[in-house]
Amino acid sequence: MWFHERLRPCKDDCLNQVLIVTGQAGTGKSATIQTIASHLGAKVCEWNTPTPTLWQEHMHMSSSGLRYTSKLDEFENFVDRMRKYGSNSFIEGQSNSLSILMIDDLPPANGKLASGRLLNSLRLLVQSASIPTVIVVTDYGRADLPESSGRWLEELQSSLESAGACKVTFNPATTNSIKRVLSRICSQENCRATNEQIELIAKLSGGDIRHAISSLQYFSLKLDTVCYPSLISNNPSTYEKLISDEGNNRCLMPMGRDETLSLFHALGKFLHNKREAGAAFVSDQDAFVLNEKFARLPLKMDAPEKILFQAPEQARPITDFLHENVLDFLNDEAIDDSWTVAAYLSEADTLLASPNGFIFRNHEAENLSQSVAASVATRGVLFGNSCPVSSRWHSIRRPKLWQVDKSSSWNKHDLLKQRLDLREACSLPNSTVIATEYMPTLKRLNYAEATAPWTTMQDKQSGEDECDAMSIHGDERVESEDEIEDW
């Protein structure tokens, strides 16, 4: 309806010509625009982002006198050309043909200045567009974008709406819809995927129809060599287990979406400790009754082990960051919670510490120790913080322990170097003697030797100054002393 009103011959000139299309990746935003344009007999003209310029090319062009132009500069020039000369400046073919302009790839804008320039250009485009124009904005989600980028995208959409643009949001495709599409593709392409395999691909796609189709293509290339499909087809109980535990296996399956979390995103989940508000603790009738002080509200996130699996970091950095920042997320009066959290983190440190400097030769044992330590640390923080503070902005500090370890390693290296240098001069058994006896004595000797001339010079200088003061201001000194005595 929106396109039909703006493409008809007797269209209203007061109608705004810009439409914002938002939604997550793979929901068919661009394909829908292409289909609608084909149905209405219109031609879709896309603004393509210029090819990036390599540094070598830029240096070569600068030597020849050519000026570097960024993608944002190209987009600003494109908008200015549209405002001055209309759509005929970039649309090839007949000027009276029906055309739809689609901007599917906005230029990157890093920093407030560049973001302001891009926003200003888009607002000018909204105010001056003479043909139906579609701006496609992909919502990548909180996990894939930093908080500042997410806020900027929201500001961009609200600013364009206030300028008069319309907005349409594409919801993620449902699992049943994706299953029907994949089944139709399999029937037309003679793919040998079973219904259980199609359902598993649909569930693991996360509403991304494009990803589901790509996964089916990859899945069909080497269907006989992939272990999961054979297990699913031969053992239905395995399929039911994978479906029931879909979240934990999403990263393991060959057709699953990449849901890797950054370190700070994972830390934010553990430290903020978001839970369901007012939800009662539900337990089975046959289960034992849990003491009230051990009961906790349900978490608003996945299991800690799944988040740790998605985070690329090892257990030691996560534990150190929790050590450094967890107190900022506890109430000031929660002394018992602090004690509980500290106890769990200490147990995690014990699991991570190598006994007597012993290095694991069995990698499986080391990985198990790392996994258990990370689980103890994260679950201890989540359980110990029984009354989390209200969510607000916190800055995650770098662990001070890292600086201590760095200084300790540097001191040990320095002691070892001095021990090797002094091996011929004197016999020192180990680095401990150098640190506790040799270095303190050497510092005292060097300090006494270095400060003795300065002390003598300072005493001599102070004596001369005192004599000069007595000779110049002798009368004043006497009067002041008399005044003190009289008083």
* Average pLDDT for the chain: 74
Evaluate whether 431 touches 416 at the Cβ level (below 8 Å). Answer: yes
| CB-based burial label for 249 (10 Å; 0-12, 13-18, 19+) | middle
Whose CA is closest to 161, among 103, 199, 119? Answer: 119
- The four Cα atoms 204, 205, 211, 213 give a dihedral, to 10 degrees, of 80
pTM above 0.75, yes or no: no
Q: What is the rounded average pLDDT of the residues 259-288?
A: 70
Whose CA is closest to 33, among 99, 125, 79? Answer: 99
Q: Who has greater pLDDT, 215 or 13? A: 215
Report the pLDDT value the prediction gives residue 260, as an integer from 0 to 100: 64
- Parallel, antiparallel, or unpaired: how do β-strands 43-46 and 166-170 relate? unpaired
Tokens for 82, please give them. Answer: 């549209």
Percent of residues, the chain, with pLDDT higher than 90 = 6
Q: What is the rounded average pLDDT of the residues 33-48?
A: 86
State the CB neighbour count (10 A cutoff) for residue 443. 10
Would you call 170 helix, strand, or coil by DSSP?
Answer: strand
Tokens for 428, please give them. Answer: 């020192």
Q: What is the rounded average pLDDT of the residues 370-386?
A: 90
Whose CA is closest to 216, among 246, 242, 245, 195? Answer: 195
Least confident of 4-13, 94-103, 313-322: 4-13
Which residues fall within 8 angstroms of residue 384, CB to CB, at 6 or more apart? 337, 338, 340, 341, 343, 344
Report the pLDDT value the prediction gives residue 379, as an integer from 0 to 100: 92
pLDDT digits (tens, 9 = 90+) for 41-69: 888 888 877 776 666 776 777 777 667 67
Contacts 24+ apart (CB under 8 A), 338-344: 338/384, 340/380, 340/383, 340/384, 341/380, 341/381, 341/384, 341/385, 343/380, 343/384, 344/376, 344/377, 344/379, 344/380, 344/381, 344/383, 344/384
Phi-psi region of 191 (alpha: psi -120 to 50; beta: other; left: phi over 0): beta
The Cα 29–Cα 140 span in angstroms is: 14
Q: Who has greater pLDDT, 485 or 250? A: 250
pLDDT digits (tens, 9 = 90+) for 169-197: 888 888 899 999 999 999 888 888 888 88
Highest average pLDDT, of 233-247, 267-281, 469-483, comes from 267-281
Secondary structure (H, E, C), 316-329 = HHHHHHHHHHHHHH
Least confident of 6-15, 158-167, 206-215: 6-15
pLDDT score of 480 more than 60: no
The Cα 248–Cα 229 span in angstroms is: 17
pLDDT digits (tens, 9 = 90+) for 392-414: 777 788 888 888 888 888 887 77
Q: What does DSSP assign to residue 356?
A: G
Q: Which residues of 227-236 are buried (b: 16+ CB within 10 A; e: fewer)?
A: ebbeebbeee
Highest average pLDDT, of 88-102, 125-139, 248-262, comes from 125-139
pLDDT score of 439 more than 70: yes
Evaluate whether 202 touches 172 at the Cβ level (below 8 Å). Answer: no
Report the pLDDT value the prediction gives residue 383, as an integer from 0 to 100: 92
Q: What is the rounded average pLDDT of the residues 120-143?
A: 80
Identity of the amino acid at 336: D
Q: Who has greater pLDDT, 224 or 214? A: 214
Q: What is the rounded average pLDDT of the residues 436-440?
A: 75
Whose CA is closest to 348, among 304, 306, 389, 410? Answer: 304
Evaluate whether 205 touches 246 at the Cβ level (below 8 Å). Answer: no
- H or E segment to which residue 168 belongs: strand 166-170
Phi-psi region of 220 (alpha: psi -120 to 50; beta: other; left: phi over 0): alpha
The domain locations on the chain are: 1-50+70-88+98-170, 175-223, 263-276+292-355+362-401
- Parallel, antiparallel, or unpaired: how do β-strands 166-170 and 133-138 relate? unpaired
CA Rg, the chain, in Å? 35
Report the pLDDT value the prediction gives residue 248, as an integer from 0 to 100: 44
CATH class of 1-50+70-88+98-170: alpha beta
